[in-house]
Each structure stands twice: as C-alpha cells, then as structure tokens.
C-alpha cells in the first residue's frame, strides 16, 4: 500500500488544493492531507481544527484522511511509512521554494519522493491568500472554494464568527 502526504496550510482549503488532493488520491492507495501550523508564515484566519474540519467537509475520496503535525514533515513521513510528498505547482513563482524544499527533504530522508502535480489551468493563480483578500474586500469567492464551505469563509471575513 503506497501512502502519500499532501502538506500545506489550507487556510482555507481552495478548489486548487482539492484538485491536487483528488488527483493524488487517484494515484496513491492512501493520502494524508497534512495541515501544518507554519506559525512563522503569517497570521492565520482559521485555527488548525477549523481548517481540518473545512477539509473534511469537502473531501469526497474514501482513501483520504486529514491530520495535523507541527514537527518536521519528513519525520512524519517516516512515521507513516509514506513514499511520497505531493505538491501542487502553480506559476514559476512556486518553483524556487518548492525545489529547495524538495531537495532538503530528500537529503533529510532519501526514501520519500516529492511528486509535483501541475495546477489545473483554471487554478493556476488561485491561493488561500487571494481568496481571503477578495472575500475581505467583499468580492465573490464562489468559483474559488467548494460551495459547502463558502458560507463559513464569508462569515469569517465579515468578522461574524
């Protein structure tokens, strides 16, 4: 059984993330979507538990579970016996950072491969930060996030909860 990990912040999950998760679920036997805290990166809009719950509400594939971890990704991969870390690649701007991460992870734990899936054309410029910005400024995010969770994001952006 081959297990892959899809790591990220998922603050919140977008249709771009879901596309990568579902494509990974078609390739691997099991997929773990790993919500990383990355506290240094930015101030998050949703807590880790909220992000997990939003992900669980939109993931339909049966071979996908959601988990969280605040340590080293390769350590988690080793513990789970994962063979791959699956990342989505959007524009060239993702490349430098992802390449550096993949090489670092490979040198820390050579048994895990980083697999890049290219973003679908329609999601090429979609990011969680873009969703938050558009939503906070009153724009329409319905074509960026799963319909099931759009109301939760609107509420949070309006400061209603």
Q: Active-site positions?
A: 17, 41, 90, 128
Task: Check residue 77 for interaction with ligand ADP (CB under 6 A).
Answer: no
Task: Answer whether 12's CB lies under 8 Å from 60's CB.
Answer: no
Tell me how far, at minimum, the Cβ of 16 lies from ligand ADP, in Å.
2
Task: Check residue 127 for interaction with ligand ADP (CB under 6 A).
Answer: yes
**Phi and psi (nearest 5°) for 106?**
-65, -40
Tokens representing 119?
A: 């973003």
DSSP 121: G
Tell me how far, at minimum, the Cβ of 81 lies from ligand ADP, in Å.
21
Tell me how far, at minimum, the Cβ of 48 lies from ligand ADP, in Å.
12
105 or 123: CB nearest ligand ADP = 123
Residues 6+ apart with CB under 8 A from 118: 88, 89
Q: 159 - beta bridge partners?
A: none
Task: Check residue 4 for interaction with ligand ADP (CB under 6 A).
Answer: no
Task: Check residue 59 for interaction with ligand ADP (CB under 6 A).
Answer: no
């Amino acid at each position: 059984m081959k297990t892959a990990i899809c790591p990220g912040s998922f603050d919140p999950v977008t249709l771009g993330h879901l596309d990568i998760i579902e494509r990974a679920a078609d390739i691997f036997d099991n997929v773990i979507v790993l919500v990383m805290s990355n506290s240094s990166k930015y101030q998050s809009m949703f807590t880790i538990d909220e992000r997990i719950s939003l992900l669980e509400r939109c993931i339909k594939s049966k071979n996908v579970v959601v988990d969280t971890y605040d340590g080293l990704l390769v350590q988690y991969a080793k513990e789970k016996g994962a063979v791959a870390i699956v990342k989505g690649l959007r524009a060239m701007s993702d490349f430098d950072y992802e390449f550096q991460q993949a090489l670092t992870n490979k040198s820390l734990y050579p048994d895990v491969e980083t697999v890049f899936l290219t973003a679908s054309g329609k999601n090429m410029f979609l990011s969680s930060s873009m969703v938050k910005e558009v939503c906070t400024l009153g724009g329409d995010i319905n074509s960026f996030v799963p319909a099931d969770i759009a109301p939760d994001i609107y509420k949070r952006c309006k400061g209603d909860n």
